[in-house]
Structure 1
Amino acid sequence: MLLSSYHYDLPPELIAQRPVDGVNRHQSRLMVYNQKTDTVTHDYFYNLPKYLPADSLIVFNQSKVFPSRLLGNKKSGGKAELFFLSHETNQNGSYPALIKTRSKKNIGDEYTFAAEMKVEVSEIFSDGTFGVKVSLPAGFKNLLDYLETHALIPIPPYIRKGESDEEDKKNYQTVYSKHTGSVAAPTAGLHFTNDLLEKLKESNVERAFVTLHVGLGTFKPVTVAHLKDHVMHSEEYFVDEENLSKIRNAKNVFAVGTTSLRVLESSYGKDISPNEHYKTQIFLHPGVDVKSVSGLITNFHLPESTLLMLVSALIGRTKTLELYELAVKEKYRFFSYGDAMLILR
């Protein structure tokens, strides 16, 4: 299958720059596609409970985005932007990061950020990332503590050219996030409010949680012409004992977002251990038989992205592009802060 076969035309004005409502996120629109009847319903996200069977289990990714974007200066002069890929060190004691400057980066380069935090380049990797050492200012117990105070939430480049602000610290985070480790939000979950979660409970829809930390790979475009040549990025996940038991015993499982589906499909039929950390490189696309879910709640994704291919694995490429064309016609809002789609299989 050619990458170009997953292209669609999207007017730029349909790319959401802010949530429809930062407080009442459930007021976003919802396109419901029933695969069995091949019908489409246009609704609002707060009506989600009426589309889910009473015996359903809805699975959320509770990974939490950490503020990782810093603006500072190079020691030799000039502006610098640093994007931490993890708040934990690698095996060499360095923090993985991206560095944006106008000049070439070299080992030993030094940068200064807010509160006089010092950063030095210690490793340069072939994929364009770096390992850095940090000297924390007094009063901070670790890097995450510093970042929570001084860093900005990272947002995708199609949202205000990646220029995040204080509002994004609240808006670009799910209300149920728990385990810190993602550099991008599991965005299907952004539509849920505590009120809506309570309504789901009243509708006898049970909840389960998994954790998959969204990494840098989620931003990387597919660069090969043929999908068979694409190498999927790796992400780490784990599930605790209580939630693993719920998932194994459920009849109708609905994944909230592509990251939850990646966990469910990666672990389906396997004897994984509770709280054990696993890595997945699963690439879901047409031709892959998705067995773990009865449905998916997801946003509208970028053209030619692996996320669009994942949706196509559930309902086929032709139907997916047909629904996206309809979404454009109906002026749905696209991407991370946009509207949602519910797929019923």
Structure 2
Amino acid sequence: MAHPGNLSIVDYTYHLPDDRIAIHPLAQRDESKLLVYKSGKIQESQYRNLASFIPSGSLLVFNNTKVVEARLLFQKHTGSTIEIFCLEPAGFADVTTAMQQTEEVLWKCLVGGAKKWKQGPLEKTIDVDGNPVTLSVTLVEKKDDHCVVQFNWSDKHLHFATILHAAGSLPLPPYLNRQVEEEDKERYQTVYAKHDGSVAAPTAGLHFTPELLQQLQQQNIQQAFVTLHVGAGTFKPVKAATMNEHEMHAEFIEVQASFIQQLIQQLQNNQPVITVGTTSLRTTESLYWMGVKAHALLQSGGASVDIAQWDAYELPQHFTAAEALQHLLQWMQQQQMEVLLAKTQIIIAPGYQLRIAQALVTNFHQPQSTLLLLVAAITGNNWRTIYQYAMDHAFRFLSYGDGSLLWKD
């Protein structure tokens, strides 16, 4: 597999005019346009017709993470505002456990106006189901690219997720360039969102309605769920000249052993696996490489299968997908795990060969982004033709925009 370290990000750019960025969602989720790419050919349809482009017996993999109200504003007694943007927990192996903490929790955050925050806690009173709760935040440590802060709250029965729901606001993508509106509270979540922890929506899933999910089920298209909590790094621009110099963001994943078993069954039956969203793809492909790592750990007894940025290009490549997943299951049994909690920093870029997924449902992504590199890994140089078609045929771009079904070349 070719190593993408020497790829130059300027080769993955296109002109995206502001008026092509969807600032608001369509009135109906599944009325968004759908571009279907297969074997070099492009068709145009709507999401509500997705079932007609997917073979019976396929498995659709969704990311059921839920966007949290990660943006918090505190006022100093001087009147200046400090904005705290929650990135990920500090000192926890997974987001779910951190979200269920009571009374206090440590979190990695971006702090707007950090220079004005010298010392001492900031406080505010919030309303939780009609009851006043005091929320305070203390600066613990300043790092190069984030701060570690401690949250404390006065009602010891409340989980941190509940506190965020009451105190914060949704972190809309910066390129929308507007305040959160009432409709965003519903529309910037998928209809199947379940586990609190993301600071950005898995946007490919925003097009699905309960009716569409039911229709897919009736066509014998199975559905399965993984959890990858989307970090702010998903918006991190690639500023390095080559990918070797870019640090890929790491994200938390949570996967049931029963899902890995389902994937093995699907592969053995030679039935397609289709991931909904780049996060679902990152998760399922990471499982393959975690299985490769697990094979070595079964002998050594190691306790982490976390995936680093270049693991997919440097680990042994000879296992079939079913073999790798089987090794992962065996290792999980050895560790007495029913649920896999791990971190992945996988980078999927041209040169990468998909191990598990045959297709991806995804939106149209920003120029010079790692998400566009992922699309190019699936479609090769045809990504340019696909994006030009979308541009020429009035498709809407980015989080609230239209989407595509891309079959791997």
Measured after TM superposition, the shift of residue 165 of structure 1 is 2.8
Partner of 1:288: 352
Residue identity in the other structure for 2:403: A
Q: Does 1:326 align with 2:399?
A: no
**Superposition pairs of residues 91-130 of structure 1, within 5 angstroms:** 94-101=106-113, 104=115, 108-115=119-126, 116-127=134-145, 129-130=146-147
CA distance in structure 1 between the partners assigned to 2:117 and 2:189 by the alignment: 34
CA distance in structure 2 between the partners assigned to 1:4 and 1:326 by the alignment: 20
Partner of 1:10: 16
Paired residues of 2:87 and 2:110 also in contact (CA < 8 A): yes
Pick aligned residue for 1:30 from 28, 34, 40: 34
Pick aligned residue for 2:372 from 308, 311, 326: 308
Unaligned segments of structure 2, at least 5 residues: 1-6, 93-103, 127-133, 289-320, 333-337
**Superposition pairs of residues 41-52 of structure 1, within 5 angstroms:** 41-52=43-54
CA distance in structure 1 between the partners assigned to 2:254 and 2:367 by the alignment: 29
CA distance in structure 1 between the partners assigned to 2:90 and 2:246 by the alignment: 28
Partner of 2:298: none
Measured after TM superposition, the shift of residue 267 of structure 1 is 1.0
Pick aligned residue for 1:224 from 235, 240, 250: 240
Paired residues of 1:153 and 1:165 also in contact (CA < 8 A): no
CA distance in structure 2 between the partners assigned to 1:286 and 1:89 by the alignment: 33
CA distance in structure 1 between the partners assigned to 2:261 and 2:34 by the alignment: 30
Q: Could you give the per-residue CA deviations for residues 285-341 of structure 1, whole angstroms, max 9, x where no partner exists?
A: 11111121111100000000000000000111x211221111111111110111001
CA distance in structure 1 between the partners assigned to 2:360 and 2:244 by the alignment: 24
CA distance in structure 1 between the partners assigned to 2:13 and 2:122 by the alignment: 40
**Superposition pairs of residues 177-326 of structure 1, within 5 angstroms:** 177-250=193-266, 251-268=271-288, 269=321, 270=324, 271-272=327-328, 273=332, 274-316=338-380, 318-326=381-389
Measured after TM superposition, the shift of residue 93 of structure 1 is 5.2
When normalised by structure 2's length, the TM-score is 0.78
Q: Could you give the per-residue CA deviations for residues 100-152 of structure 1, whole angstroms, max 9, x where no partner exists?
A: 12x6155525433453532221111111x111122324486132212112311
Residue identity in the other structure for 1:111: L
Range 163-172 or range 304-313, more displaced: 163-172
What secondary structure sits across from 1:170 in the alignment?
A: helix
Residue identity in the other structure for 1:96: K
CA distance in structure 2 between the partners assigned to 1:140 and 1:160 by the alignment: 36
Q: May I ask how many residue pairs the two structures share in their alignment?
A: 336
Pick aligned residue for 1:143 from 149, 160, 167: 160
Identity %: 39
Range 151-160 or range 299-308, more displaced: 151-160
Range 139-148 or range 281-290, more displaced: 139-148
Paired residues of 2:229 and 2:251 also in contact (CA < 8 A): yes
Query: Structure 1 pair 336/58, CA: closer, same or farther in 2 (3 Å)?
Result: same
Q: Could you give the per-residue CA deviations for residues 44-99 of structure 1, whole angstroms, max 9, x where no partner exists?
A: 0100000000010000011111111122312443122221224x553695222111
Residue identity in the other structure for 1:231: E
CA distance in structure 2 between the partners assigned to 1:130 and 1:284 by the alignment: 29
Residue identity in the other structure for 2:29: R
Partner of 2:25: 19
Partner of 2:316: none
CA distance in structure 2 between the partners assigned to 1:171 and 1:285 by the alignment: 30
Structure with higher helix content: 2
Measured after TM superposition, the shift of residue 226 of structure 1 is 1.0
Residue identity in the other structure for 2:111: I
CA distance in structure 1 between the partners assigned to 2:150 and 2:399 by the alignment: 32
Query: Structure 1 pair 140/8, CA: closer, same or farther in 2 (3 Å)?
Result: farther
Paired residues of 1:68 and 1:154 also in contact (CA < 8 A): yes
What secondary structure sits across from 2:23 in the alignment?
A: coil
What secondary structure sits across from 1:239 in the alignment?
A: strand
Q: Does 1:134 align with 2:151?
A: yes
Query: Structure 1 pair 110/75, CA: closer, same or farther in 2 (3 Å)?
Result: farther
What secondary structure sits across from 1:71 in the alignment?
A: strand
Query: Structure 1 pair 109/310, CA: closer, same or farther in 2 (3 Å)?
Result: farther
RMSD: 1.9
CA distance in structure 2 between the partners assigned to 1:342 and 1:135 by the alignment: 44
Measured after TM superposition, the shift of residue 28 of structure 1 is 0.5
Unaligned segments of structure 1, at least 5 residues: none
Measured after TM superposition, the shift of residue 167 of structure 1 is 2.1
CA distance in structure 2 between the partners assigned to 1:334 and 1:93 by the alignment: 37
Partner of 2:41: 39
Query: Structure 1 pair 214/306, CA: closer, same or farther in 2 (3 Å)?
Result: same
CA distance in structure 2 between the partners assigned to 1:139 and 1:227 by the alignment: 46
Query: Structure 1 pair 109/304, CA: closer, same or farther in 2 (3 Å)?
Result: farther
